[in-house]
Amino acid sequence: MQLNRKALAFGQLPSSKGDLYAPASGNKGLVHNIFLHNTNTTAETVVLNYHDGTSEHEIFNQSLSAGETVIWDFKGAGDIVEDGGKYTGNTDTASKVTFKIDGTEESPSGSSLSVVGANLWAPPDQPHAEDDEFTGDTLSGWTGVQNVADGVAGSFSYGAIDSYDTSFNSGNVVRVNVNGLTRPSWALIQTPAVYKQFVIYKAITVPTNLLIWSRMKFNNRLSYVADDTVVALEFIDSVAGVPTTNGRVSLYLNESDPGTVQAQSMTYSSGGTAGGIVNSTDVDSQGQALEYVAIHKIGSTFHTWIGTSAGNWIWMNSYSGLDFTPDMVGISVVNLSVAAPGVSVVGVDFVRFLETDNFLL
């Protein structure tokens, strides 16, 4: 994916609604600033709309006095104009209000994965239908959240995350911040400190060969306890349409045993027996250099990998002859401690899918 920082559009508003900016086919726009200046000697009402390719809605309506300038500044990654989307607008009098739209355009680079060197985070040029980049305001596309330890459904509370909360230790509500101002394109997740496994899941049709991978983050503390907080990517065999503790292939980050902090690969059989446990090298409480996890299904064999920000991958283990067939993908989170500064927060930058029998990361 190639990024081009430039002036996306420049001109003067028409009196009847017209197109102002639309990214070229196959591109995506990231708008950082919109400048509006009224050159007229009287006030002008400026209207801007966003069209997503299907429907259009007003996003700005303001009167500009004579000679007034307004600068609309989008923080973080900017306001996303999807391929097929566009800005439209108008004002009272044609050719009296000057507009300038600055930002960045993402253009295909020709690679099918866009994972060159350290750029494992880059969105693919040809995304899979199940890919989630977490650019919306909710966890769209995910079926729900399940407390698999107790076998009960949970619920989401959006925008409620508080890393200093030492009282979040009951219930089945999972706090989520998606596409926030400080961490755009990340799903930040905080589960209650009840030492229960919560799984955010989606049902998928699993083909013969499927590679899933994700970028993850976590908060840790110097004085941690065993399994203080963990986050995992999983293939899951559902029971009655929901995940349970059984029938899964899991790859955890920040798995903490007494005296160790590491990544861990493992499975649970359909009967709930744990097996194939392999841990990465202990790095104590310094935080992991590992930030990517991948599980690769080739036929009936599952390979687990962990990766660094530099693009280095370490093969963890493989599992064959499993007594279940997965039909879900899950993000699994466990919190145990409410010790200072508070209940830990994990994050997921994306979850991506590629139907291949070759490890192409």
Locate the domains of the chain by residue range: 2-107, 144-354
Model confidence at 54, pLDDT cuts 50, 70, 90, reads confident
Q: Is pLDDT above 80 for 111?
A: no
What pLDDT shows up at residue 283? Answer: 65
Is it true that 2-107 and 144-354 share their CATH fold? yes
Distant-in-sequence, close-in-space partners of 35: CB < 8 Å, separation ≥ 6: 69, 70, 71, 72, 98, 99, 100, 101, 102
Q: What is the mean pLDDT of residues 49-71?
A: 94
- List the CATH code of the domain at 2-107: 2.60.120.220
Q: What is the mean pLDDT of residues 95-124?
A: 71
How far is residue 249 CA from its own chain's centroid?
21
Least confident of 51-55, 59-63, 87-91, 355-359: 51-55
Using CA atoms, how far apart are residues 243 and 232, in angstroms rounded to an integer? 14
Using CA atoms, how far apart are residues 216 and 308, in angstroms rounded to an integer? 11
Using CA atoms, how far apart are residues 221 and 213, in angstroms rounded to an integer? 26
Do residues 82 and 27 make contact, with C-beta atoms less than 8 angstroms apart? Answer: no
CATH topology of domain 144-354: Jelly Rolls (2.60.120)
Do residues 213 and 294 make contact, with C-beta atoms less than 8 angstroms apart? Answer: yes
What pLDDT shows up at residue 113? Answer: 44
Q: What is the pLDDT of residues 220-241, one digit of tens each?
A: 777 767 778 899 999 999 999 9
What pLDDT shows up at residue 355? Answer: 93
Using CA atoms, how far apart are residues 22 and 20, in angstroms rounded to an integer? 7
Q: What is the pLDDT of residues 252-292, one digit of tens each?
A: 988 776 667 788 999 999 998 999 999 888 765 555 678 89
Q: What is the mean pLDDT of residues 29-52?
A: 95
Nearest in space to 235 (alpha carbons), one of 132, 135, 113, 327: 327
Model confidence at 2, pLDDT cuts 50, 70, 90, reads low
Q: Letter for the amino acid at 214?
A: S
Q: What is the mean pLDDT of the chain?
A: 89
Using CA atoms, how far apart are residues 278 and 257, in angstroms rounded to an integer? 13
CB-based burial label for 99 (10 Å; 0-12, 13-18, 19+): buried
Q: What is the mean pLDDT of residues 123-129?
A: 83
Do residues 105 and 59 make contact, with C-beta atoms less than 8 angstroms apart? Answer: no
Q: What is the mean pLDDT of residues 157-162?
A: 92
What pLDDT shows up at residue 259? Answer: 62
Q: Letter for the amino acid at 221?
A: R
What pLDDT shows up at residue 258? Answer: 64
Q: What is the pLDDT of residues 176-225, one digit of tens each?
A: 998 777 788 899 999 999 999 999 999 999 999 999 999 998 887 777 67
